[in-house]
Structure 1
Amino acid sequence: MGFVTFIFSSFWIWLGFSILVVAAGNAVVGAAKALRPKRTVKAYRVGQRWHVDIVGANRGDVTHVIKSICEEGEEVQIDEGVIFSGFDKSKD
């Protein structure tokens, strides 16, 4: 109880404590975001070609997008030369 009394004993002490709490909270949030980056996979068609933009995604996310495209009967060619022309749905 003495700590709370000390914090509220002066406006400047309260303001300084509040700033420190906010700064520490922002540091924790920043560290959490750095450990778990945003994952995005965007697939869109331009003409007859599919373009896939991958940012921070793992292999499972990319596989899910490729499966979705292949379910439409499309053939997908990855830049490294790997071609996915369909998946065996019995393995899912």
Structure 2
Amino acid sequence: MLVYEMKLQGTQYQYRKLDEAIRTGRFVRNSIIKAWIDGQIKSRNDAYTYCKLLSDNPSFPWVNQLNSMARQAHAERAWASIERFYKNCRQK
């Protein structure tokens, strides 16, 4: 489990924006993993492409608020968890 610790002195508005960014990142990661489970994603490049599809989807306008580098970083983390799953399955 990844834990981020930080000391912040900000306004309630800044805290809300930070929370919104964290939730959006989780949504991107979970969406990519769900698409992989459903068979839509088969490679790392597919994960990046799916990330772009999420940002262009009018049903999820909040995803476009993250910049492309942040979305790709979350796609990278999702793919790393998929690779870790494969590695653990091979070891058993």
Normalising by the residue count of structure 1, what TM-score does the alignment of the two structures yield? Answer: 0.34
More helix by share: 2
Q: Which has the larger Rg?
A: 1
Query: Which is bigger in relative contact order (C-alpha 8 A, separation at least 6)?
Result: 2
